[in-house]
Amino acid sequence: MMMADKEITTLGHDTTMCGDPKSWFPMRVTYSRELKVKAELDRLKIENFIPMTYQVMDADTEHPHRELVPAINNLIFVHSTQERISYLKQKNEVLEPLRYILDQTAQEAHTIMTVKDRQMENFMRVASMTDNSVMFLNDEWVIGKEGKHVQIMGGVFEGVKGVIRRVKRCKRVVVELKG
């Protein structure tokens, strides 16, 4: 736990009993500096993930082109300990823009959001596909459309678990990160 201005911040779940004190932290990065932060985390050999997608740039010009860009602006997932991330945020100027995301669904106030390893593995497998078969949706597309839980049994997404949902008039398997 950390003390910050007399407020206690706690982790979303305890992983110390598992022998791996690292957790996946979804973090905001201010001013769209997620690729710069990713490069620094890679240099420090800290596991991280930014979901990427192709976007058509300069579409209304003579030379439109596809460019690989972050699929969700200002978001990076960092796999480390809260203590190490906090230390690096204070000591490394490039990592200073990282901001913890608080878990709004937690019963305790000021709980930092974490993602379970299995959920993150599913998300990374699906989000790593940069073709048009993957869509990134916000809450308004999936809220209130509960479906059947499934596990994909073949193909590039074999083993991924998700929920069948109707999105844009088609049935799709949705991989969700809670919170």
pLDDT in tens, 39-94: 999 999 999 999 998 888 887 888 888 888 898 899 999 999 999 999 999 999 99
Q: 4-18, 53-67, 157-171 — which one is most confidently predicted on average?
A: 53-67
CA dihedral 31, 32, 35, 36 (to 10 degrees): -20
123-132 tens-digit pLDDT: 898 888 766 6
Top pLDDT among 128 and 169 is at 128
5, with CB counted inside 10 A (0-12, 13-18, 19+), is exposed
b (16+ CB within 10 A) / e for 22-44: bbbbbbebeeebbeebbebbeee
C-alpha to C-alpha distance for 15 and 134, rounded to whole angstroms: 30
Q: Please say whether the beta carbons of 159 and 150 come within 8 A.
A: no
pLDDT above 80: residue 166: no
Please tell me whether residue 103 adopts helix, strand or coil conformation: coil
pLDDT at 3: 40
86-124 tens-digit pLDDT: 999 999 999 999 999 998 887 888 899 999 999 999 889
pLDDT at 176: 75
Residue for token digits 């000591």? 91
Question: Which whole number is the average pLDDT over 163-175?
Answer: 76
Share of the chain above pLDDT 90, in %: 37
pLDDT at 133: 62
Top pLDDT among 49 and 177 is at 49
Question: In this structure, what are the phi and psi dihedrals at residue 84, rounded to the nearest 5 degrees?
Answer: -65, -45
Q: Is the pTM of this model over 0.95?
A: no
